[in-house]
Structure 1
Amino acid sequence: MSVAQSVLAVNDDLPIRTQLPVHSGKVRSVYWLSPEDSARLIAQKGYDVAPDAPLAVMVISDRISAFDCIWRAEGDVRGVPGKGAALNAISNHWFRLFKARGLADSHILDIPHPFVWIVQKARPVMVEAICRAYITGSMWRAYSKGERDFCGIQLPEGLAANQKLDELLITPSTKGVIRGVAGVPEADDVNVTRQQLLDNLKVFGFRSATDVDLYETLLKQGFGVISEALARAGQLFVDTKFEFGYVTDSKGTEKLIYMDEVGTPDSSRMWDAAEYQAGRIVENSKEGFRQFLLNHFPDPDIMLNKDRFAERVALARDNALPLQSFMDLSNTYTSVAEKITGQPIVLSDNPKAEITQVLADQFDLIK
């Protein structure tokens, strides 16, 4: 089996029965089930959701996105071997741990295959909930240029790159374009303050001010759970992104849940603890790939400057990266997943055939 054959690069062409067009994101594709199939599965499987809740099959891919572009490697390798299964395994592990610790549920109802989730539709909070334990990445770049106000939080003078912060910082940004909020540009992924959330609850999708408190609590608790577990594996949990949404359970109770993915090398930075103590940064996340891209091309400003996005898209489209960069990233994803879950990541010879078979046999969802 070649490297190109070992990756699931295209995940929006499976013969899953659905009445809506498949929604394909950077990494995941979502197949929304018909009301009839959703109701049937809820009844058959006993999912704790409203009887008329919309369900979907969410299929992850091995595609690699960085700086909002999809990248490929030599030999027509259009994904990172093991990446999709590793991301799902890590998220599954943390979501189960959150539920066991009494934090909150997630949108996942079933896991029929390492690449697949059965999920319930959530009403998303329009905030990417970012928390940071160290000053690095975009925060450090802004700080080093003189910025001190981050989402309404004033940072002190004299901080150094990669320094541990005195407390966990919550620095939310917009999820999608938010319109009509004073001081918030109408663009995706711009920083917002806690006060702006409180002053515009409906716009950001919160039901109440109490739920702003709750999302912050769940964010801090989730970060703490992951940080403690990673510490036992010799890793530092540096920063991460959480997403939240509302669902209604079988009793008609609306609740705030975790959604998307959580605590993965795609959404988080993780550093080797021993190396950090020795004064070195060893990335165990996608950040290492981002740094590779910044060094690989002669003009790194193309990656960082939003005004040069068209040039960035052209770089991703026209350049095949060294295959070794993808294999190094594959090792990062699979080794992190195996450390966290204690289980091996097994590459599939034919993931599409496996997915189709299990969805036919156990869920009757194939056309």
Structure 2
Amino acid sequence: MADALRETHFTFDPPAELYRGKVRDVYRRDGQLLMVASDRISSFDHVLPRAIPHKGQILNQIAAHFLEATRDICPNWLEGNPDPNVAIGKACEPIPVEMVIRGYLVGHGWREYSAGKRELCGVPLPEGMREADQFPEPIITPATKAEEGHDEDISREAILERGIVDELTYRKLEDYTRRLFNRGTAMAAERGLILVDTKYEFGIRDGQVYLIDEIHTPDSSRYFYAEGYADRQARGEHQKQLSKEFVREWLMEHGFRGLEGQTMPEMPDAFVESITQRYTELYEQITGKAFVPADTTDIEGRIRRNLAATSWSVQE
């Protein structure tokens, strides 16, 4: 099995502040970010104990693919990718709301619906829907960004009442979210996929809204295969999908839903390898390019060498 990047420990001159997220190590200084996509994987808002080889490279390259393809819709933070696992760009002040948009009733939405709820984030849900049914129109169901633990659903009205953003800014977030989802949907369709749901994160810099973080990756999105979708739905079968949902399903099968008192199950090598294979499949399916794995014999050393020619040269 290839080596995996669990975390980085870089020192820069001038110094940079480090924030270690669920899957990314983010270094910030002088209005810039250096973001290292590690091979960590999270589910149910918990970081799993084992890292997944090549996952960080795959996420970083898919994100770059879609950020470049959507610059005409919304300005974004990305300025360059000096290493397969690294992105450099503008530091923005994050808006503490994830703009989740759902085209189909699956995942968290389905779990809420099957529990009897007919409203999600203030959005009414039609009666008589089945798992994986398409909504008449995509719905926006925001979530508050949590520093630790579970993110929480929040309505448009609550966002404005709490003053998280003003109404004009929120309208812009909604507009960007719908247009980005439409673009992602069209790009997925060209590759034989359905973009089921996703989330976008935004920030403010010099009074302007920027798209930040990753977009349309398997960590932030769900995809169905378009071929056979209608037949599977008619037969009441589970949809064939490319997303991180299979990791959640495996955890649930082994008694873990991220709840207090539950023990994270041990991940065998075969399961770890299957996650790499799924991520690779999604990369190739969604981009139409063959995945070329980077050398993993010394990942931190490779990143150091690739950053040497940038303003982010790592100190020994």
Aligned to 1:23: 19
Cα distance in 1, alignment partners of residues 177 and 219 from structure 2:
17
Cα distance in 2, alignment partners of residues 121 and 277 from structure 1:
43
1:237 corresponds, among 195, 201, 209, to: 195
Q: What letter is aligned with 1:172?
A: P
**TM-score normalised by the chain length of structure 1:** 0.79
Cα distance in 1, alignment partners of residues 120 and 47 from structure 2:
29
1:219 corresponds, among 177, 185, 204, to: 177
Whether the 8 Å contact between 1:15 and 1:356 is mirrored in structure 2 is no
Aligned length: 307
Cα distance in 2, alignment partners of residues 364 and 8 from structure 1:
19
**TM-score normalised by the chain length of structure 2:** 0.91
2:68 corresponds, among 96, 105, 110, to: 96
Aligned to 1:338: 284
* Higher share in helix: 1
Aligned to 2:112: 142
Q: Which runs of 5+ in 2 are unaligned?
A: 233-237
Alignment RMSD (CA, Å): 1.9
Give the 5 Å matches for 1:163-174. 163-174=133-144
2:208 corresponds, among 229, 238, 255, to: 255
Cα distance in 2, alignment partners of residues 7 and 256 from structure 1:
34
Give the 5 Å matches for 1:190-209. 190-201=152-163, 204=164, 206=165, 208-209=166-167
Residue 21 of structure 1: how far off its partner (Å) = 4.4
Residue 332 of structure 1: how far off its partner (Å) = 1.4
> Against the structure 1 CA distance between its residues 176 and 18, is the aligned structure 2 distance closer, same or farther, given a 3 Å change threshold?
farther
Give the 5 Å matches for 1:1-367. 3=1, 5-11=2-8, 13-33=9-29, 35=30, 54-72=31-49, 78-99=50-71, 102-176=72-146, 189-201=151-163, 204=164, 206=165, 208-248=166-206, 254-279=207-232, 280-295=238-253, 297=254, 299=255, 302-303=256-257, 308-309=259-260, 311-312=261-262, 315-316=263-264, 319-347=265-293, 348-349=295-296, 350-363=298-311, 365-367=313-315
SS for the counterpart of 1:278 is helix
Q: What letter is aligned with 2:313?
A: L
Cα distance in 2, alignment partners of residues 209 and 359 from structure 1:
41
> Against the structure 1 CA distance between its residues 273 and 327, is the aligned structure 2 distance closer, same or farther, given a 3 Å change threshold?
same
Whether the 8 Å contact between 1:65 and 1:71 is mirrored in structure 2 is yes
Residue 87 of structure 1: how far off its partner (Å) = 0.5
Cα distance in 2, alignment partners of residues 227 and 122 from structure 1:
27
SS for the counterpart of 2:137 is strand
Per-residue CA shift, 1:37-85, capped at 9, x if unaligned?
Answer: xxxxxxxxxxxxxxxxx1121111111111122224xxxxx32122111
Residue 16 of structure 1: how far off its partner (Å) = 3.4
Cα distance in 2, alignment partners of residues 15 and 197 from structure 1:
38
Q: Which runs of 5+ in 1 are unaligned?
A: 36-53, 73-77, 178-186, 249-253
Q: What letter is aligned with 1:10?
A: E
Cα distance in 1, alignment partners of residues 130 and 266 from structure 2:
36
Whether the 8 Å contact between 2:105 and 2:132 is mirrored in structure 1 is yes
SS for the counterpart of 1:356 is helix
